[in-house]
Amino acid sequence: MDIPPWEMEEQQKWTQQTTEGRQKKVEAAKRRRGNAFLVTTSETISGRNTLEVGLVRGCAVLARNFVLDGMADIDNALGGEVQAYTTLVDNSSKLAMNRMVAEAKNYDADAVIGVRFQFSEFTNGASAVIAYGTAVVFE
């Protein structure tokens, strides 16, 4: 379906005005904010109006090693927590979240809302962690 040229021009004009308006709001919010940075799983921040900047994410892929596998085998044989793998998952989660926050700060965001983590086995012996959320600025 073809869009008539006059409608296309109006759409482009509206898009440019919206983008410019959003940029002005982001710049004004940057001037008003402090140095605090918030990361939350909530979709909103109580008492704050926010303007979405965009999706941000961070990922980390960490591999097991022979030492961890040996320690894990011992923990598994004795029962209980497999501390070596717990540490691996914890470190990769923190790394993914730090990368997500760094990307948000590149957008000059004040916070990341709706944060989620996704874990998967990348290959045999390597796990991937992705942290993602919506970067926002405070209005």
Dump pLDDT digits (tens) for 30-64. Answer: 665 555 688 999 998 888 899 999 999 999 988 76
pLDDT over threshold 60, residue 71? no
- pLDDT score at 3: 65
pLDDT over threshold 60, residue 72? no
Nearest alpha-carbon partner for 82 in 92, 74, 72: 72
Q: What is the pTM of this model?
A: 0.67
**Between residues 105 and 24, which one has the greater pLDDT?**
105
- pLDDT score at 106: 93
Q: What DSSP assignment string belongs to 59-128?
A: EEEEE--HHHHHHHHHHHHH-S--HHHHHHHHHHHHHHHHHHHHHHHHTT-SEEEEEEEEEEEEETTEEE
Task: Tell me if 129 sits within 8 A of 92, measured CB to CB.
Answer: yes
CA dihedral (39, 54, 88, 69) in degrees, to 10, reads: 160
Query: Quick count: other Cβ atoms within 10 Å of Cβ 97?
Result: 20
Query: Tens of pLDDT along 77-118?
Result: 666 677 777 778 888 999 999 999 999 999 999 999 999 999
Lowest mean pLDDT among 13-17, 32-36, 103-107, 129-133: 32-36
